[in-house]
Chains A and B, each alone.
Chain A
C-alpha cells in the first residue's frame, strides 16, 4: 500500500469549509484513495473514495490531482460534529484497512 502523509492537526471554524490535504506520491495506478474518520470513542466511519476523478457525496468532496500524487478532502460546511480524526488511506480494492495517525480536526464555534 502506498504511504500517505497528512498534517497532524488542523482547526476549522464552524460553518466554513475544511480542506484536508493528503500526500501519496507513491500511489500506483490501481490504488484508490479512501477517507474515513473516527469521532472520539466511536468506530471509524467511511466518508468517500475515488480513483482518478473528483468525487462528491452527501458528506464531502474528494479532489484528486491529475498526477494522483495528492488529494484533498473537503467538508463544505463544517459543524461541531465533524470534530474527529480523519484518515487518508491508499489501497488497491482490498479489504485490510489500516490507519496511520491521521489528521485531528477540531471545529470551533
Chain B
C-alpha cells in the first residue's frame, strides 16, 4: 500500500525566500506529525495534528514556521524568510492510533531535504 509521501524530495532556496513543504499521509491516519533532522543531529518534533483538534505547535522554533492540514489529510509546512539554520531534512509522519493510547507506531515519509543558501 502507499506510504507517507513528501514533496519535493529536495529544495534549494535562497536566504529570505519562503518555502512550502508538502506531506500526504497514509489514507485513514488521523494523526500527522512534522519533524526535522539536522545533519548529525537527532530528531526534533515540530508540530502535531490530530483529527479536528487544535494542533500542538509547541515544537515550532519560531513564528516563521507554520503548518496547516486541510480536510484532515494533506499537510503543508511553510517556512517564511528562510535562514541558513533552517537547512535540514524535514520529515512527516502519520499514525492511526490516537495519542494517549497504549502505544503507537508512526510511519515516516522519506523527507524533504531543505538547503538554504
Contacts and interface: CB of A to CB of B under 8 A. Distances in A.
Contact of B43 (A94, A95, A99): A99
Interface majority SS (helix, strand, loop, mixed), chain A: loop
- Counting chain B residues whose Cβ lies within 8 A of the other chain, the interface size class is 20 to 34
B28 interface: no
Nearest to B3: A43
A7 interface: no
Contacts of A93: 99-104
Interface string B80-94: 000000000001010
Interface stretch (A9-17, A19-27, A45-53, A72-80): A45-53
A45 B99 CA distance: 18
A100 B42 contact: yes
- Counting chain A residues whose Cβ lies within 8 A of the other chain, the interface size class is 10 to 19
B111 interface: yes
Contacts of A100: 42
Given A95-B48, A97-B45, A98-B44, A44 B108 contact: yes
Contacts of B105: 46, 49
Interface in A23-73: 32, 34, 42-46, 49, 51
Contacts, number: 61
A96 B45 contact: yes
27 contacts: A32-B103, A42-B111, A43-B91, A43-B111, A44-B91, A44-B106, A44-B108, A49-B105, A93-B100, A94-B99, A94-B100, A95-B33, A95-B48, A95-B50, A95-B95, A95-B104, A96-B45, A96-B59, A97-B33, A97-B35, A97-B45, A97-B106, A98-B43, A98-B45, A99-B37, A99-B43, A101-B42
Interface of B: 4, 31, 33, 35, 37, 42-45, 48, 50, 56, 58-59, 91, 93, 95, 99-111
